[in-house]
């Protein structure tokens, strides 16, 4: 057991580990803070430092009873509890809004930050820094690719009021050109007024810039009275 009066080289090494854990946790947390996600910077730092301290306690905190008869220490025991226990914080960051689940990435980042803290507490500095860099690339660098992949599968619904028979499939193909291939659903029903029908078309895989062009093309079809685009 180390006293409070002097700071031994061992104590200095443990303080360095805690500081490194705080820095690496802040790097991951800064990305979440940039996106205004909670948990943010401070939470990620606390998780990383806490996991590091628990690992230090697990590995070195019971050194004074080593050699005592019938006493067996397992340094991995506390680390295993951290891995399972961090799910408590992760679950709190996951929200279900309608059919959309949000917060999974932040929960995963908390879990990964806890792993980084454990690694730092074990003295695996190179591995900890490498993991931090890789996680940051996944969180910030892969996001644009993920958004493009999601955009390819996203659908957009246009509602059009037009004279009966004015908005046939042939008229849509002529007006929209290549974009007409993106149509995955076409529904026509009688409108509120006689001779007018309401058509709903659903398109898939459009880029945001295509929405204005499609709205303009639909509005220019003869007999179309109103075009309502997705919000």
- Per-residue pLDDT of 71-117, as tens digits, reads 666 767 777 888 777 777 777 766 655 555 677 777 888 888 899 99
102 assigned to some structural domain: yes
User: What's the structural domain count of the chain?
Assistant: 2
Residues in the chain, pLDDT under 50: 1-5
Query: Do 91 and 188 sit in the same domain of this protein?
Result: no
Considering only the C-alpha atoms of the chain, give the largest distance between any 2 of them, rounded to a whole number of Å. Answer: 95
CA dihedral 44, 46, 51, 57 (to 10 degrees): 170
89 assigned to some structural domain: yes
52 assigned to some structural domain: yes
82 assigned to some structural domain: yes
pLDDT recorded at residue 73: 67
Query: Do 205 and 133 sit in the same domain of this protein?
Result: no
Tell me the β-bridge partners of 55.
none
CB-based contacts of 152, cutoff 8 Å, min separation 6: 205
How far is the C-alpha of 25 from the C-alpha of 120, rounded, in Å?
11
DSSP 8-state assignment for residue 202: E
CATH of the domain at 180: 3.30.70.1150
Query: Do 86 and 199 sit in the same domain of this protein?
Result: no
pLDDT recorded at residue 19: 92
146 assigned to some structural domain: no
197 assigned to some structural domain: yes
- Assign residue 67 a region (left: φ > 0; alpha: ψ between -120 and 50; beta: otherwise): left
60 assigned to some structural domain: yes
Query: Do 136 and 51 sit in the same domain of this protein?
Result: yes
**Range of the structural domain that residue 72 is part of:** 9-141
How far is the C-alpha of 219 from the C-alpha of 229, rounded, in Å?
11
- Per-residue pLDDT of 10-22, as tens digits, reads 888 888 999 999 9
Closest CA to 224 of 166, 156, 175, 183: 166
Counted residue by residue, the chain has a size of 231
Query: Do 43 and 115 sit in the same domain of this protein?
Result: yes
Sign of the four-CA dihedral 63, 81, 83, 51: negative
The answer to whether the beta carbons of residues 32 and 40 sit under 8 Å apart is: yes
Query: Do 132 and 162 sit in the same domain of this protein?
Result: no
Which of 141, 170, 194 is where one domain is finished? Answer: 141
Query: Do 170 and 100 sit in the same domain of this protein?
Result: no
Query: Do 102 and 172 sit in the same domain of this protein?
Result: no
Query: Do 47 and 129 sit in the same domain of this protein?
Result: yes
Tell me the β-bridge partners of 159.
200, 228
Query: Do 126 and 195 sit in the same domain of this protein?
Result: no
- Assign residue 18 a region (left: φ > 0; alpha: ψ between -120 and 50; beta: otherwise): alpha
Q: Is the pTM of this model over 0.75?
A: no
Encoded tokens for 5: 């009066």
Query: Do 106 and 29 sit in the same domain of this protein?
Result: yes
Tokens 């599968």 label which residue?
A: 153
Query: Do 27 and 131 sit in the same domain of this protein?
Result: yes
pLDDT recorded at residue 2: 47
pLDDT recorded at residue 173: 84
Encoded tokens for 135: 């996680």
Which of 141, 173, 202 is where one domain is finished? Answer: 141
Sequence-ordered strand ranges (E) for 164-217? 183-190, 196-204
């Amino acid at each position: 057991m180390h006293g409070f009066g002097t700071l031994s080289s061992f104590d200095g090494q443990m303080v360095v580990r805690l500081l490194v854990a705080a820095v690496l946790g802040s790097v991951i947390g800064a990305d979440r803070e940039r996106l205004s996600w909670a948990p943010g910077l401070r939470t990620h730092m606390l998780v990383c430092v806490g996991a590091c301290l628990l690992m230090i306690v697990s590995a070195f905190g019971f050194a004074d009873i080593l050699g005592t008869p019938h006493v067996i220490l397992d340094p991995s025991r506390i680390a295993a509890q951290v891995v399972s226990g961090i799910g408590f914080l992760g679950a709190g960051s996951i929200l279900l809004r309608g059919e959309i689940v949000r917060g999974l990435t932040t929960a995963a980042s908390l879990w990964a930050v806890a792993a980084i803290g454990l690694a730092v507490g074990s003295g695996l500095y190179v591995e900890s820094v490498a993991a931090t860099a890789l996680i940051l690339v996944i969180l910030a660098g892969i996001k644009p690719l993920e958004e493009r992949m999601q955009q390819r599968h996203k659908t957009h619904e246009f509602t059009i009021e037009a004279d009966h028979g004015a908005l046939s499939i042939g008229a849509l193909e002529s007006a929209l050109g290549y974009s007409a291939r993106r149509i995955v659903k076409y529904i026509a029903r009688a409108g509120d007024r006689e001779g007018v029908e309401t058509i709903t078309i659903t398109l898939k895989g459009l880029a945001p810039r295509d929405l204005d062009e499609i709205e303009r093309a639909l509005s220019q079809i003869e007999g179309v009275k109103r075009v309502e685009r997705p919000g």
